[in-house]
């Protein structure tokens, strides 16, 4: 694999994580496929450099030493593939930009478990006949409003200033540093009791926190609920359309994906980092995630992982 091919591996790309597959196993599998692809190519001819060797003149009986010029390979240009090059620093930039992610979260009314999963140890069963779509929508609006207030708090903005006021009016607020999970948009996509499907836009989340969110929604509705499925559909500026399927975890597909994503990655990071601390787009109750410009490793989880 020539230097040009290796250079095409500097950047970010997204992969689809099948349900139940741990992200570390996915990473190791992709890394192995990259190494196989790199090793399968014809190695470049080693660069030559001139080295002067001290020794006797060939064919001479004299013990006089002379300098002889010879050509030897230089080994300093043989790369070690330990990641996707400069893309590692781009991941740090993505983290510092506090980009949001989109999820679809499926809930099931009528029971509670010890870990908020559908297949967890059953703790309680409840009725849910009183729950309506309108009641659920009201609860979701309250949750979104409380999280947007928390977002202002973690942004360390003084809303008394004109700049902060204008940012708040435009809905451009983000936290200064790491924070608890913050929800910037949440709405119900489907409601057929006992099942309901939510679309959640958030940042700094964990899978357990998303499952707990379903549990807390159940409590607010005077019943119980468990989470049966969590699927990430957008990670920053990467969407499902960008994600490589398992059959595409090979060197050339990854190189192509990195090259296609590179202009968007550069533009989006520059835009988000230029906004500086305290800015993040908020969405009102009518938010629709599909209208967002899309971020890496898009995942499909069962509620258990």
pLDDT tens-digit map of 20-32:
888 788 888 888 8
pLDDT band at 81 (very low <50, low <70, confident <90, very high): very low
pLDDT band at 226 (very low <50, low <70, confident <90, very high): very high
Whether the predicted pLDDT of 117 surpasses 90: yes
- Report the range of poorest mean pLDDT among 78-82, 175-179, 211-215, 288-292: 78-82
Q: Which helix (H) or strand (E) holds 98?
A: none
Q: Give the residue, 235 or 219, on which the prediction is more confident.
A: 219
pLDDT band at 46 (very low <50, low <70, confident <90, very high): low
Q: How far apart are CA 271 and CA 64, in angstroms?
A: 68
Query: Domains in the chain and their CATH numbers?
Result: 100-239 (3.30.2350.10)
The two structure tokens encoding residue 114 = 């010890």
- 19, with CB counted inside 10 A (0-12, 13-18, 19+), is middle
- Report the range of poorest mean pLDDT among 141-145, 185-189, 269-273: 269-273
* Residue 190 confidence (pLDDT): 97
* Residue 178 confidence (pLDDT): 81
pLDDT band at 70 (very low <50, low <70, confident <90, very high): very low
3-state secondary structure of 156: coil
In the predicted model, what is the mean pLDDT of residues 199-205? 94
Whether the predicted pLDDT of 86 surpasses 80: no
* Pairing status of strand 122-125 against strand 111-113: antiparallel
Are 120 and 225 contacting, i.e. CB atoms less than 8 angstroms apart?
no
Whether the predicted pLDDT of 182 surpasses 90: yes
* Residue 290 confidence (pLDDT): 39
Q: How far apart are CA 178 and CA 83, in angstroms?
A: 25
% of the chain beyond a pLDDT of 70: 70
pLDDT band at 246 (very low <50, low <70, confident <90, very high): confident
Q: Is the peptide bond before 194 cis (omega within 30 degrees of 0)?
A: yes
- 196, with CB counted inside 10 A (0-12, 13-18, 19+), is buried
pLDDT band at 302 (very low <50, low <70, confident <90, very high): very low
Sign for the pseudo-dihedral over CA of 281, 282, 284, 286: positive
Whether the predicted pLDDT of 149 surpasses 90: no
* Residue 155 confidence (pLDDT): 84
pTM: 0.72
Q: Which helix (H) or strand (E) holds 232?
A: strand 225-235
Task: Please state, rounded to an integer, the average pLDDT across all residues of the chain.
Answer: 77
Q: How far apart are CA 305 and CA 299, in angstroms?
A: 10
In the predicted model, what is the mean pLDDT of residues 166-187? 81
Unique residue bearing structure tokens 């009201």: 138
Bridge partner residues of 195 (DSSP): 108, 192
């Amino acid at each position: 694999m020539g230097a040009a091919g290796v250079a095409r591996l500097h950047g970010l790309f997204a992969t689809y994580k099948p349900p139940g597959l741990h992200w570390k196993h996915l990473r190791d599998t992709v890394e192995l496929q990259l190494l196989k692809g790199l090793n399968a190519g014809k190695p470049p001819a080693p660069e030559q450099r001139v080295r002067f060797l001290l020794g006797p003149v060939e064919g001479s009986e004299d013990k006089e030493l002379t300098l002889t010029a010879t050509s030897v390979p230089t080994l300093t240009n043989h790369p070690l593939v330990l990641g996707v090059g400069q893309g590692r620093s781009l991941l740090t930039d993505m983290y510092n930009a506090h980009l949001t992610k989109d999820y679809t979260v499926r809930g099931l009314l009528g029971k509670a478990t010890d870990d908020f999963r559908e297949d967890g140890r059953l703790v309680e069963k409840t009725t849910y006949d009183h729950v309506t779509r309108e009641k659920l929508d009201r609860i979701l609006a309250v949750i979104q409003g409380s999280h947007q207030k928390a977002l202002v708090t973690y942004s360390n903005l003084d809303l008394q200033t004109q700049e902060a006021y204008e940012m708040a009016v435009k809905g451009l607020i983000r936290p200064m540093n790491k924070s608890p999970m913050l929800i910037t948009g949440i709405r119900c996509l489907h409601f057929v009791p006992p099942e309901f499907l939510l679309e959640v836009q958030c940042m700094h989340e964990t899978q357990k926190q998303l499952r707990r969110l379903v549990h807390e929604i159940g409590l607010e509705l005077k019943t119980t609920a468990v989470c049966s499925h969590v699927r990430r559909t957008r990670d920053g500026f990467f969407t499902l359309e960008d994600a490589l399927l398992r059959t595409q975890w090979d060197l050339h597909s990854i190189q192509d994906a990195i090259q296609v994503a590179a202009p968007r990655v550069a533009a989006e990071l520059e835009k988000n980092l230029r906004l500086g601390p305290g800015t993040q787009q908020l969405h009102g109750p009518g938010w629709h995630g599909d209208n967002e410009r899309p971020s890496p490793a898009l995942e499909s989880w069962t509620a258990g992982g």
